[in-house]
């Protein structure tokens, strides 16, 4: 038995190692940023486990894993409610949990939300690839999703008795109970390729999350768009469809319009392509995209760059060590 690791008994559904800030500096070579989809829940899990808030930890999608701990550790489970159990007994989320060598953590299907996070004291010590331990599963960059009997190495355990902490309700992300999410977004960079009525329609309509959504893109179903004159009478180098444009860079969070299908480009998305991006989701709203399930409804609220900056600063504050209290 590895005395400094975690043995995967059941892998769950595409459970991956993630780390912040992700894989920075390689977009021009086609490598996405990756990293945790819900940074809020991820960072709080790390703080509760006694780690620096950006340490490598596990992201679990829709159905969580079963893990055996091969040494004494402190763990924390946050994000989607996957009804965690330790040796078959329910344990609370959003607080530090001491675990003895040999104990087994089981996570089930997500009851609320879509993605859960498991942080372990010492952090997960898989090899860094291109500067990050974050896994881009589709291309096997940084590793792949967990598999049965895999052993995940851990970093050194902290000395002394651990601080046992919890995150009060007021400091946790609030998951939608009515399957409707308000998502903050900005107009641009290509909103002028739509007519003004379609820009207004985007922010007024209900958009349903498609089942074919993942960490590359959140596909939406909703009303049809109509286009501005520049999209209908353009040079042949821009492509035939009104939503085509000459290849250009895609911002993270872009609402990429492929024909009549909006696709929100998220953590594992491509960095360039030939479709317009009429809108961009604010980075502070990504945690809500991460927790939205297929069939949930997104309603977009238009904001400007100043408000997007304020929302991001507020999220940085709430994910600092100041939101935890002793158990």
For the stretch 8-63, pLDDT in tens is: 999 999 999 999 999 999 999 999 999 999 999 999 999 999 999 999 999 999 99
pLDDT for the residue numbered 1: 40
Q: State both tokens at 20.
A: 């912040």
Q: Is 287 helix (H, G, I), strand (E, B) or coil?
A: helix
Residue 324 lies in a domain: no
pLDDT in tens, 201-236: 999 999 999 999 999 999 999 999 999 999 999 998
pLDDT for the residue numbered 3: 62
Which residues have C-beta within 8 Å of that of residue 264, sequence separation ≥ 6?
Answer: 217, 218, 220, 253, 254, 255, 256, 281, 289
- Specify whether 208 is located in the same domain as 250: yes
State which of 169, 197, 228 marks the end of a domain: 169
- Specify whether 161 is located in the same domain as 200: no
- Specify whether 12 is located in the same domain as 159: yes
Residue 25 lies in a domain: yes
SS3 letters for 13-59? CCCEEECCCCCCCCHHHCCCCCCCCCHHHHHHHHHHCCCCCCCCEEE
pLDDT for the residue numbered 162: 81
Residue 272 lies in a domain: yes
- Specify whether 165 is located in the same domain as 185: no
Residue 326 lies in a domain: no
- Residue 111: name the closest of 93, 137, 135, 88 by CA: 93
- Specify whether 74 is located in the same domain as 153: yes
Q: Which residues of 57-72 are buried (b: 16+ CB within 10 A; e: fewer)?
A: bbbbbbbbbbbbbbbe
Residue 322 pLDDT grade (very low, low, confident, very high; cuts 50, 70, 90): low
pLDDT for the residue numbered 323: 61
Residue 90 lies in a domain: yes
Task: Answer yes or no: are the C-beta atoms of 24 and 33 closer than 8 Å.
Answer: yes
Q: In the predicted model, what is the mean pLDDT of residues 270-288?
A: 97
- Specify whether 164 is located in the same domain as 225: no
- Specify whether 15 is located in the same domain as 163: yes
The whole model's pTM is what? 0.95
pLDDT for the residue numbered 159: 83
The CATH number linked to 310 is: 2.40.100.10
- Specify whether 185 is located in the same domain as 216: yes
Residue 175 lies in a domain: no
- Specify the number of domains making up the chain: 2
- Specify whether 220 is located in the same domain as 89: no
- Residue 226: name the closest of 199, 252, 245 by CA: 199
State the residue range of the domain holding 199. 180-318
Torsion of CA 20, 23, 25, 29, to 10 degrees: -160
Q: Is 284 helix (H, G, I), strand (E, B) or coil?
A: helix
DSSP conformational letter for 164:
P
- Residue 117: name the closest of 55, 173, 36, 181 by CA: 36
Q: Is the pLDDT of residue 2 over 90?
A: no
From residue 165, give the alpha-carbon distance in Å to each of 49, 76, 277, 323.
8, 10, 42, 10
- Specify whether 113 is located in the same domain as 228: no
DSSP conformational letter for 125:
-
Q: What percent of the chain has pLDDT over 90?
A: 90
Least confident of 14-28, 110-124, 127-141, 153-167: 153-167
Task: Report the alpha-carbon distance of residue 116 to residue 127 in Å, rounded.
Answer: 23
Task: Report the alpha-carbon distance of residue 282 to residue 208 in Å, rounded.
Answer: 19
Token pair 């179903």 is at which residue?
Answer: 221
pLDDT for the residue numbered 151: 98
């Amino acid at each position: 038995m590895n005395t400094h690791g975690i043995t995967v008994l059941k892998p769950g559904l595409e459970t991956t190692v993630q780390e912040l800030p992700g894989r920075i500096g390689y977009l021009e070579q086609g490598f996405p940023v990756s990293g945790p989809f819900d940074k809020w829940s991820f960072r709080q899990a790390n703080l509760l486990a006694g780690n620096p808030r950006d340490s490598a930890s596990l992201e679990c999608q829709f159905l969580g894993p079963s893990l055996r701990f091969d040494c004494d550790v402190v763990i924390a489970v946050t994000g989607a409610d996957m009804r965690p159990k330790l040796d078959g007994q329910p344990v609370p989320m959003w607080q530090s949990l001491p675990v003895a060598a040999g104990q087994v953590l089981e996570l089930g299907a997500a009851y609320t939300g879509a993605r859960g996070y498991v942080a372990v004291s010492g952090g997960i010590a898989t090899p860094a690839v291109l500067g990050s331990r974050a896994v881009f599963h589709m291309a096997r960059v940084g590793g792949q999703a967990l598999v049965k009997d895999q052993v995940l190495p851990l970093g050194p355990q902290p000395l002394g008795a651990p601080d046992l902490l919890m995150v009060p309700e007021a400091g946790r992300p609030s998951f939608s109970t009515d399957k409707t999410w308000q998502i903050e977004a900005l107009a641009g960079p290509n909103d002028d390729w739509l007519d003004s009525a379609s820009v207004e329609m985007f922010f007024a309509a209900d958009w349903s999350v498609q089942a074919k959504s993942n960490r590359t893109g959140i596909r939406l179903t909703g009303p049809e768009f109509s286009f501005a004159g520049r999209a209908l009478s353009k040079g042949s180098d821009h492509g035939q469809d009104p939503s085509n444009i000459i290849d250009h860079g895609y911002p993270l969070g872009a609402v990429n319009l492929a024909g009549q299908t909006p696709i929100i480009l998220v953590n594992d998305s491509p960095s360039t392509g030939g479709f317009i991006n009429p809108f961009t989701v604010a980075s502070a709203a990504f945690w809500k995209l991460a927790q939205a399930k297929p069939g949930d409804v997104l309603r977009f609220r238009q904001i400007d760059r100043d408000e997007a900056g304020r929302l991001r600063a507020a999220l940085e504050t709430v994910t600092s060590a100041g939101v935890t209290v002793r158990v």
